[in-house]
Amino acid sequence: MTDTTRRLNLNVGINTTGYLGAAWTHRRDGTRQDVYDPAYYLRIARLAHRGVFDALFLSDMPLLRPEPGSRPLHTLDPLILLTSLAAQVPDIGLVATVSSTYNSPYNLARRAQSLDILSGGRLVLNIVSNFVPEVAANFGNDPLPPREIRYPRADEFLQVAKKLWASWDPRRDGDIDPGQFWGPDSAHPIEHDGDYFAVRGALNVPRGPQGHPVIAQAGASDWGLDLAAKHGEIIYCNILSRAAGQSFRQKVNERAVRFGRDPSTIKLVPGLVAIIGESREEALRKHELFSGAGSEDGLLARFAREHGIDPADFDPDAPLDGEDFIPDGDRIQAVGMGRGWAELLTHERLTARQAVRRAEGNHRLVLGTAEEVADQIIDLWADGTVDGYTYQPPRAPDDIEEFVDKVVPILQDRGVYPRAYEGRTVRDRYGLPYPD
Amino acid sequence: MTDTTRRLNLNVGINTTGYLGAAWTHRRDGTRQDVYDPAYYLRIARLAHRGVFDALFLSDMPLLRPEPGSRPLHTLDPLILLTSLAAQVPDIGLVATVSSTYNSPYNLARRAQSLDILSGGRLVLNIVSNFVPEVAANFGNDPLPPREIRYPRADEFLQVAKKLWASWDPRRDGDIDPGQFWGPDSAHPIEHDGDYFAVRGALNVPRGPQGHPVIAQAGASDWGLDLAAKHGEIIYCNILSRAAGQSFRQKVNERAVRFGRDPSTIKLVPGLVAIIGESREEALRKHELFSGAGSEDGLLARFAREHGIDPADFDPDAPLDGEDFIPDGDRIQAVGMGRGWAELLTHERLTARQAVRRAEGNHRLVLGTAEEVADQIIDLWADGTVDGYTYQPPRAPDDIEEFVDKVVPILQDRGVYPRAYEGRTVRDRYGLPYPD
């Protein structure tokens, strides 16, 4: 592949035991509590590097819910863990989820630019505005700020961060006196004084190899779409079908143009759960086990429960109405995640029995043999609905290994995915521009 | 050496170009602007490992002052840089300076415990309460909080962090059902509700290899001494003479006992600037060059300027009066640093010409041949005035290399310093207890 060929981008989620709640009880080596063992993550990162993944993706929430039957999905701090992995595994990018609600722009911009420099230009920052009251309780007595404050604050946070990332650039100096470390153009205060932040600057970390880290965004509410269109370069969204993806892309692109951005600089890499079997039937069975539902009936019961459907009225073989699945905008939840179901069921007439095999954790689910999984991945990429995927392994590390051994070679043979790392930074590999 | 033998502890400061302002212009390889190059720090960390240093020490201030004639002393984020180095260099401890003023306890406790786990128990946290108004301007419009708020806040910050570090401990579970990730004793909320912080918990990172990171403290004001006596395990102070060190130790110990702590669990490792020459005369000359003063007259002029002495009245060969050097408690500065001069000049009758050779950057200065430097290091350690030193190289990396090649072998031959790493964690190497 040459630089000008469009190619599939793939990230891989590396949160603790994997994406599906009960999958960790089916690990082949029987190990269970190694998710805070450095060797566990190093093994996963090396697997991912063998699979030529563009980036390791760590979602995050600064919260522990030690409920019976649950497991921790977020533990070691993402920027710290990814810094450690970057020092041990070359090439691969690093997506760190960080909260704009509970960080200060100066400190976070500094940590991020430090890692971008140390990793040689491999950092992607996935900025989230936290929406869970239990998270708020770890950061003071104030109630969770409402969405109409969280999103403008996140926007200003990123504006400040970008000013800081550009505030010290030794290249501006040109030739300087050998007895001087820097000249008068090297660094300037940013003197930001906005609605939420006042920051003088300059940042004490210079411009990095990517100009600044790539910005990822996940929101799909109106607020989230605006933030994605203003700042997002990689969009981690939930797109369950072609129609939904095209409609999402159109919405983001329209807003991006309104904000003066070129929509081709925005890449969609929605979440994807892939379950691979020797046959489709084996994959279906693994789905039932790894999800914790145990059986197809269990999946249907969970679907009814999660969507507030009365079991007495529930016909799993009756077509569903998308209208019933539009999330309530005032609910304290991640709006984008709920909206995926509505989009799917509006554009495709599905029964519950069909629908439960189309999504896990609100992300697109693809099931079948390695060939069938590869086909489904390529399908929405080939016509540009998506630019790639963020693969969420149901069970780590086993399913990452299986994906790398079985699906990646097919994608490579089809000529849509690289056989080795090309370019130097995440910007190079995603075809993203460098900031001025 | 066995575990029961008292031995010298040594850390090494690895901030950018080294400790002395103009020293970087005298680097042997002529390189200047590599202080944000990852390879530069890796080289230094490997040198330090060869010298069996207990820990790499990064002081910090979230601030850039790009003034002509200056150079950045603090750039890459300490926790991020040390995480990267820990992944590449074994054994050596990591002292990260972090602000309790501009961080939230949950996020910081999480980052720190993550690094302690990833490094196998090598983290020391040097908690500082920032005192510079320019730093405050990077974190909002509020003026710098006064000392009577900053220190109680730092105290509560550490109380919260310690509760969080103990809040999730999988070892409390014992045998649990194989289908469950954790049992009911694994993690508990801390429900902290204090004067400055409200934090529910539990922390989403479990207890680490050291129980929690070792706590370092630097303050020497009344507030700072209290904080050191309550929480400090390693004290980075400025001790310019035996009498000053013994007086400082006594003050810390008395307060520690009042707070119910065993004073033997508090280790003094003050800063030390060592300048090595083939002869003492060469070391004196290097001192004049690396400090930027250029000559002994330059050192004297700087001394007069820094202490507000009128040059017209200044007799560099007249004995100085310690009373004149007691810092004003209301000044916005690091009180402990100024106090060092007063302590020195109260206990020893020195002229300015003598005094300028006794301290650099408010830390003890030792000058001479490698033998003479080793003698002076051992001198205050042998009778227990100090437990070791935090060596601040005038010029990095050259002076670290020189210290490792010339001074360390002498310390090893004298039987006061190890030839290889012993123990597993920083607690082991400093003889510090593990928290319950």
**First-to-last C-alpha distance (Å) of chain A:** 27
Once rounded to an integer, what is the mean pLDDT over residues A266-273? 97
Interface touch B187/A66, C-beta < 8 Å: yes
Once rounded to an integer, what is the mean pLDDT over residues B21-46? 92
Interacting residues of B87 by C-beta distance below 8 A, sequence separation 6+: A83, A84, A85, A87, A88, B118
User: For B283-328, what is each residue's pLDDT tens digit?
Assistant: 999 999 999 999 999 999 999 998 889 988 899 999 999 888 887 6
Once rounded to an integer, what is the mean pLDDT over residues B413-428? 97
Helices B222-231 and B147-165: crossing angle, nearest 10°? 10
Once rounded to an integer, what is the mean pLDDT over residues A293-319? 94
Q: What mean pLDDT is reported for chain B?
A: 93
The Cα angle at residue B407 between residues B403 and B410, in degrees rounded to 5: 160
User: For A40-59, what is each residue's pLDDT tens digit?
Assistant: 999 999 999 999 999 999 99
Whether B16 shows a pLDDT value over 60: the answer reads yes
Q: Which of residues 163-222 of B touch A (CB under 8 A)?
A: 168, 170, 178-182, 184, 186-187, 193, 197-206
Whether B97 shows a pLDDT value over 60: the answer reads yes
More confident call, B95 vs B344: B95
Q: Model pTM? A: 0.96
Whole-Å CA distances, A419 to A8, A381, A412, B425: 12, 18, 6, 41
Tell me the shortest Cα–Cα distance from A263 to chain B, in angstroms: 33
Most A-contacting residue of B204, B207, B395 (CB-CB within 10 A), to test interface: B204
pLDDT band at B210 (very low <50, low <70, confident <90, very high): very high
> Which ipTM did the prediction report?
0.96
More confident call, B165 vs B244: B165
The continuous run of DSSP H or E covering B371 comes out as: helix B370-382
Question: In terms of Cα–Cα distance, which of B214, B361, B357 is closest to B283?
Answer: B357
The CATH classification number of B9-173+187-279+359-430 equals 3.20.20.30
Whether B235 shows a pLDDT value over 80: the answer reads yes
pLDDT score for A233: 98
pLDDT score for A332: 46
Locate the domains of chain B by residue range: 9-173+187-279+359-430
Q: Which of B197-201, B305-309, B350-354 is least confident?
A: B305-309
Rounded distance between C-alpha atoms, residue B217 and residue B214, angstroms: 10
Q: What mean pLDDT is reported for chain A?
A: 93
Tell me the shortest Cα–Cα distance from A101 to chain B, in angstroms: 12
Once rounded to an integer, what is the mean pLDDT over residues A6-11? 96
Interface touch A76/B205, C-beta < 8 Å: yes
CATH of range A9-276+369-430; options 2.60.40.10, 3.20.20.30, 3.30.460.40, 3.40.50.720: 3.20.20.30
More confident call, B161 vs A141: B161
Instruction: Count Cα atoms within 13 angstroms, Cβ side, for A387.
Output: 23
Question: In terms of Cα–Cα distance, which of A417, A409, A380 is closest to A272?
Answer: A380
The continuous run of DSSP H or E covering A192 comes out as: strand A192-193
Q: Which of residues 136-165 of A touch B (CB under 8 A)?
A: 137-141
Q: Which amino acid is at B47?
A: L
pLDDT score for B3: 45
Whether A244 shows a pLDDT value over 60: the answer reads yes
Interface touch B70/A181, C-beta < 8 Å: yes
Rounded distance between C-alpha atoms, residue B272 and residue B394, angstroms: 10
Residue of A nearest to B104 (CA): A139
Q: Which residues of A touch B137 (CB under 8 A)?
A: 198-200
Question: In terms of Cα–Cα distance, which of A198, A112, A108, A99 is closest to B138?
Answer: A198
Q: Which residues of B touch A101 (CB under 8 A)?
A: none
Interface touch B103/A102, C-beta < 8 Å: no
For B264, left (φ over 0), alpha (ψ -120 to 50), or beta? alpha
The continuous run of DSSP H or E covering B283 comes out as: helix B280-290
Other CB atoms within a 10 A radius of the CB of residue B77 amount to 29
Rounded distance between C-alpha atoms, residue A228 and residue A350, angstroms: 30
Rounded distance between C-alpha atoms, residue B208 and residue B231, angstroms: 18
